[in-house]
Amino acid sequence: MTKKHFIALADMIREHNKIDPQNAFCPAAIEALAQFCKGTNPNFKAMLWLDYIAGRCGPSGGKLKS
């Protein structure tokens, strides 16, 4: 998988969790996905990806736009 794929997957998770919070992905499921992604690409930055999903940074790790 590429960075583009990882961002698209994170965007889908973020959008799903926002639209349907009662059926949101649980932290354990998101962590399992992060480990899967790390296994597909050794350059994958799991903590950055998790922070992006949580809304703590932009898709490339930068500050969020206000």
Full-model pTM? 0.88
Q: What's the pLDDT at 18?
A: 95
Asked whether residue 20 is domain-assigned, the answer is yes
Q: What's the pLDDT at 65?
A: 66
Asked whether residue 61 is domain-assigned, the answer is no
> Which structural domain, as residue segments, surrounds residue 19?
3-54
Question: Crossing angle of helices 27-40/3-19, nearest 10°?
Answer: 170
Domain count for the chain: 1
- Per residue in 30-45, pLDDT (tens digit) is 999 999 999 999 999 9
DSSP assignments along 14-50, one per residue: HHHHHH-GGGPPPHHHHHHHHHHHHHH-TT--HHHHH
Mean pLDDT per 10-residue interval, the chain, length 66 residues: 94 96 96 96 95 91 71
